Structure 1
Amino acid sequence: MNLMSDYGFLGWIIIGALAGIIAKAIMPGRDPGGCIVTILLGVAGALLAGFIGNAVGWYRQGEGAGFIAAILGAIVILFIYRLIANRRT
């Protein structure tokens, strides 16, 4: 079931928040931001997962990523952020 494309703006916010919270729970650590950054992390993870899924043929054109893919995308973004942040310190 493809949650990201079936719901509107509010659905993106709710699913983004859940995906961001789960990603931060899987990769605990000190990250900046609060609720808004967590929501943006989840939404960006879903967009990244949808882009990669379209590129490799997992999703059809215009089809968004599912919830699990959104979490995985958020984990990838969080991992990349931490690599960059650790390099600067």
Structure 2
Amino acid sequence: MSELELSPAAQHWTNLVLLWIGFGIVTGLLAKLLVPGREPAGPLGTLMIGIFGSVLGPLVLSLALHQKQFNPISPMGLLASVGGALLFLLAYRFLVAVAAGRRLDDLD
């Protein structure tokens, strides 16, 4: 049986997607570590919060620093990504609390 060979462009995009998934997991876990409490999202929610934060954080940082390009896979990018994930995590917890009709203190 022969191996599946991807074109260089397809291999590049596959590597990029896998890199963002891994980076999103790390970012989401760091954000959850910094904001303790019960998390209703689960593992998939952690991944999504991390990926959204990994997109939002460096984007806001590049706009704030007036840079056209910013490498999110860098120490500054990691800090910006965790900051973005923290914002998403707090917003998610707030929306869950409001939707459930609970006070924010009940999430701890």
Matched, 1:61 2:68: yes
- Distance in 1, matches of 2:61 and 2:79, equals 12
CA contact (8 A) 1:45 1:70 kept: yes
Amino acid at match of 1:74: A
Matched, 1:23 2:31: yes
Q: How many equivalent pairs are there?
A: 82
| SS of 1:8 mapped into structure 2 | helix
Deviation at 1:36, TM superposition (A): 2.0
- Distance in 2, matches of 1:86 and 1:31, equals 11
Identity %: 28
Amino acid at match of 2:21: I
Amino acid at match of 1:85: V
Matched, 1:70 2:81: yes
After TM superposition, the score normalised by the length of structure 2 is 0.65
Correspondence for 1:52: 60
CA contact (8 A) 1:17 1:39 kept: yes
Bigger shift: 64-73 or 42-51? 64-73
Matched, 1:41 2:49: yes
After TM superposition, the score normalised by the length of structure 1 is 0.76
Deviation at 1:86, TM superposition (A): 2.2
Gaps of 5+ in 1: 1-6
The structure showing larger relative contact order (alpha-carbon pairs under 8 Å, at least 6 residues apart) is 1
Deviation at 1:14, TM superposition (A): 0.8
